[in-house]
Structure 1
Amino acid sequence: MIRRWNPAGVARPVGQYSHLAAVPADHELVFLSGQLGLLEDGTLAGPDAEAQTRQAFANIGRLLDALGAGPANLVKLLTFVSGTEHLPGSRTAREEVFADWYPDGDWPAHSLMVVAGLARPDLTVEVEAVAAVPRS
């Protein structure tokens, strides 16, 4: 199983993430492209960061399902938010998802970047992921 931890000698994480995550040798790394707040039909889940973040994580969940994996298989997340005004909504949605996915607080490594914009002006959040899936 993936090992996540926060060693002594560095400040405690300031959010929901672990400083380190190690993948066992019998696992394959799978890189998930950035997921947007788009429903299956390609429409936006909503105009705000909270709805889009919730949907981006739902899409990651579906991709993990397709791999026969789940949130425990996530090693690293990278969230892009298009402007500081979208941070509160994105954090609210992420906290709700993480409460469900990681009730014991064993969070994957995670970075968050505020960017000037995403691929379209109506997009507020994009989330990339790396998962470790046991080899068959």
Structure 2
Amino acid sequence: MIRRWSPEGLAPPIGQYSHLAAVPADHELVFVSGQVGVAEDGTLAGPDARAQTRQAFANIGRLLDSLGAGPEHLVKLLTLVSGTEHLDGSRVAREEVFAAWYPDGDWPAHSLMVVAALARPDLTVEIEAVVALPRR
């Protein structure tokens, strides 16, 4: 089981994340390339960060399903947001997803970066993930 925690002697996390996450030796790490807000048919989920973040997490959910895994197997996330104007929308969508995925607040490690741009000008959010799967 993945262990997530925030030790004493350090300020509590300023958002929905744990300071530390550890993976047991009997697990395999899978690295998920950055997911954007593009639906299966190739269309953008919407012009705003909220819609695109929801879709990026939905894409991560589908990738987890393909591995026989779930959100509890996520060790680390990295969210890239293209400009501070998209932070609020991205955070709202993340909070919605995390409420469903982590109702007990046992969040994975997570970093958030504001960047100048992503691969296309219409993209507002990209999310990478690291997954830990029990070896079969």
- Pairwise TM-score range, normalised by the shorter structure: over 0.9
In structure 2, the residue corresponding to 1:35 is in which secondary structure?
strand
Partner in structure 1 of residue 131 of structure 2 = 131
- Is residue 86 of structure 2 the alignment partner of residue 86 of structure 1? yes
Question: How far apart, CA to CA, are the structure 1 residues paired with 2:9 and 2:19?
Answer: 11
Question: How far apart, CA to CA, are the structure 2 residues paired with 1:111 and 1:10?
Answer: 17
Question: How far apart, CA to CA, are the structure 2 residues paired with 1:132 and 1:51?
Answer: 27
CA RMSD of aligned residues (A): 0.4
Q: Which amino acid aligns with 1:14?
A: I
Q: Which amino acid aligns with 1:17?
A: Y
How many residues align? The count is 136
Partner in structure 1 of residue 43 of structure 2 = 43
Question: How far apart, CA to CA, are the structure 1 residues paired with 2:107 and 2:26?
Answer: 21
- Return 3-12 or 105-114, whichever deviates more: 3-12
Question: How far apart, CA to CA, are the structure 1 residues paired with 2:115 and 2:10?
Answer: 26
Q: Which amino acid aligns with 1:23?
A: V
Structure 2 residues without counterparts, runs of 5 or longer: none
Question: How far apart, CA to CA, are the structure 2 residues paired with 1:112 and 1:37?
Answer: 16
- Is residue 90 of structure 2 the alignment partner of residue 108 of structure 1? no
Identity %: 84
Structure 1 residues without counterparts, runs of 5 or longer: none
What's the TM-score once normalised by structure 1's chain length?
0.99
1:3-49 C-alpha deviation (Å, 9 max, x unpaired): 00000111100000000000011110000000000000111000000
Shift of 1:77: 0.1
Partner in structure 1 of residue 58 of structure 2 = 58
